[in-house]
Structure 1
Amino acid sequence: MTKTLIVPGLDGSPAPHWQDWWARTDLNAAMIDLPAPHRPVRAAWEAALAVAIIKNPGSILVGHSLGSVVIAQMLATWPGLPVRAAVLVAPASPQGSDRLKDFGALPRVSFDVPTVVVASHNDPWMTFDEATDLSEHWGSTLIDLGNAGHVNVASGFGPWPGGKLIRDSLIDQTARPGVIRKLTVKASGWANSLRN
Structure 2
Amino acid sequence: MTPAVFTLPGWQSSGPGHWQTLWEQQHGYQRVEQHDWMRPLRGDWLARLDEVLLGLPEGQQAVLAAHSLGCIQVAAWAAHSRLTARVRAALLVAPGDVERDDLRPLLPGWAPIVRQPLPFRSILLGSRDDPYCSEARARDMAQDWGAAYHDMGARGHLNAESGLADWPAAHALLEELKNKD
TM-score by length of 2: 0.90
Alignment map for 1:1-196 (pairs within 5 Å):
1-27=2-28, 29-56=29-56, 57-78=60-81, 81=84, 82-96=86-100, 97=103, 98-173=105-180, 175=181
Distance in 1 between residues matched to 2:83 and 2:31, nearest whole Å: 22
Q: 150-159 or 6-15, which moves further after superposition?
A: 150-159
CA contact under 8 A between 1:79 and 1:111: conserved in structure 2?
no
Query: Which protein has greater RCO, CA pairs closer than 8 Å, 6+ apart?
Result: 2
Structure 2: runs of 5 or more not aligned = none
CA contact (8 A) 2:14 2:20 kept: yes
> 3-state SS of the aligned residue for 1:132?
helix
Deviation at 1:73, TM superposition (A): 1.0
The C-alpha deviation readout for 1:42-83, integer Å capped at 9, x for no partner, is 111111111111212410001000111101111122365111
**Aligned-partner Cα distance in 1 for 2:167–2:23:** 8
Shift of 1:152: 0.8
User: How many residues get paired?
Assistant: 173
Instruction: Give the CA deviation at 1:101.
Output: 2.3
Over 3 Å counting, the alpha-carbon distance change for 1:134 and 1:120 in structure 2 is same
Q: List structure 1 runs of 4+ shifted beyond 2 angstroms.
A: 76-80
Do 1:88 and 1:116's aligned partners in 2 also have CA atoms closer than 8 Å?
yes
Runs of 5+ unmatched residues, structure 1: 176-196
Aligned-residue Cα RMSD (Å) equals 1.4
* Contact 1:95–1:104, Cα closer than 8 Å, also in 2: yes
The alpha-carbon distance between structure 1 residues 79 and 142, as it changes in their structure 2 partners (threshold 3 A), is farther
1:71-124 CA distance string (max 9 Å, x none): 111112236511111111000011241221221211121111001111011001
Identity of aligned residues (%): 27
Secondary structure of the structure 2 residue equivalent to 1:101: coil
Q: Deviations over 1:138-180 (max 9, x none)?
A: 111001101011001222222212221111111232x2xxxxx
Question: Is the Cα–Cα contact under 8 Å of residues 7 and 66 in structure 2 kept in the other structure?
Answer: yes
